[in-house]
Structure 1
Amino acid sequence: MSSLPTCIFCKIIKGEIPCFKLFETDTVLAYLDIQPLSKGHALIIPKYHGARLHNIPDEYLSDVLPITKKIAKAVGVDNDDPEGKGIGYNFLQNNGRIAHQEVDHVHFHVIPKRVQTEGLGVGWPAETTDFDKLKKLHEELLKAIGN
């Protein structure tokens, strides 16, 4: 584990600060958020210190989605609900202050949502599609990715 001595999440991983642990593997720790947006709000953190997602080695990310799924099921989001009125959830991960990241250690939130006024509120300021710009961006990103 790579760590930073002043990082609160690294201290939680090391056991220097207690947490309400939900699940743990060799590479990931999941626990309840102490300032929850809703009942069951949990954090999932890699046991490798890195400020942004691209700083984390892949092997420290491989358990993130399976653990998220376990936690989502535990808070009741897996209930069969054909009308879609049951529990939903947001899976949130921010990178950088401009994207609302508060702690400089990669972390993922599972935020249950039972009613409209609970949990995370999200705005989506979508723009009108300019297909010429989108095609140019697509080509640039393929080149940057290496395709």
Structure 2
Amino acid sequence: MTLFSKIIAGEIPSYKIAEDKNFFAFLDIFPLVKGHVLVIPKIETDKFFDLEEEYLSKILVFAKPIAQAIEKSFPCNRCALSVVGLEVPHAHMHLLPINEIDDTNFTRGKLQISNEELKEIQQIIINNLK
């Protein structure tokens, strides 16, 4: 069972943004930028492009309102989508509010954000989903 499957099952706490029967979205606790959200399928598949076609198309539809909420929540030029998949062997996409290409640089240091600030960020994004 992957770390992400444990988050979906509620065995590991997370800052949930949205959920439906197929997908789960939550804040990255070691983000590149404030508002960094992970979107994962509830089925455990290692590589993103090994997902069934049905999941590949539906994950974008699930992520769209979250990306729009991120853009409303943080001053940014756009919400970027990135699929890297090296950190956890469970297919996932990153949604990041960005102003420049370096905001998507996964080799740079991650932000250290307090639990209180993560809760605030979570609530801001959720409020903009409505």
TM-score by length of 1: 0.62
More displaced, 27-36 or 65-74? 65-74
2:68 corresponds in structure 1 to 73
State the AA in 2 paired with 1:61. L
User: How big is the shift at 1:104?
Assistant: 0.5
1:51 equivalent among 32, 46, 49: 46
* Structure 2: gaps spanning 5 or more residues: 107-130
State the AA in 1 paired with 2:7. I
Could you tell me the percent identity over the aligned residues? Answer: 36
2:8 corresponds in structure 1 to 13
- Aligned partners of 2:76 and 2:6: how far apart in 1? 36
Deviations 1:38-60 (CA, angstroms, capped at 9, x unpaired): 11110000001111123322333
Instruction: Spell out the pairing of 1:20-35 with structure 2 (5 A cutoff).
Output: 20-35=15-30
TM-score by length of 2: 0.69
1:129 corresponds in structure 2 to none
Deviations 1:84-119 (CA, angstroms, capped at 9, x unpaired): x95223201125xxxxx11110000001113x3862
Q: Larger C-alpha radius of gyration, 1 or 2?
A: 1
* Structure 1: gaps spanning 5 or more residues: 79-84, 96-100, 123-147
SS in 2 for 1:72: helix
Relative to its length, the structure with more helix (as a share) is 2
Deviations 1:22-52 (CA, angstroms, capped at 9, x unpaired): 1111010001110111111100000011111
Residue 60 of structure 1 pairs with residue 44 of structure 2? no
- Aligned partners of 1:109 and 1:87: how far apart in 2? 16
Q: Is the 8 A contact 2:70 2:79 kept in 1?
A: no
- How many pairs are equivalent? 105
- Aligned partners of 2:91 and 2:9: how far apart in 1? 16
2:104 corresponds in structure 1 to 120
- Aligned partners of 1:121 and 1:77: how far apart in 2? 22
Cα gap change, 1:117 to 1:60, in 2 (>3 Å): closer
CA RMSD of aligned residues (A): 2.5
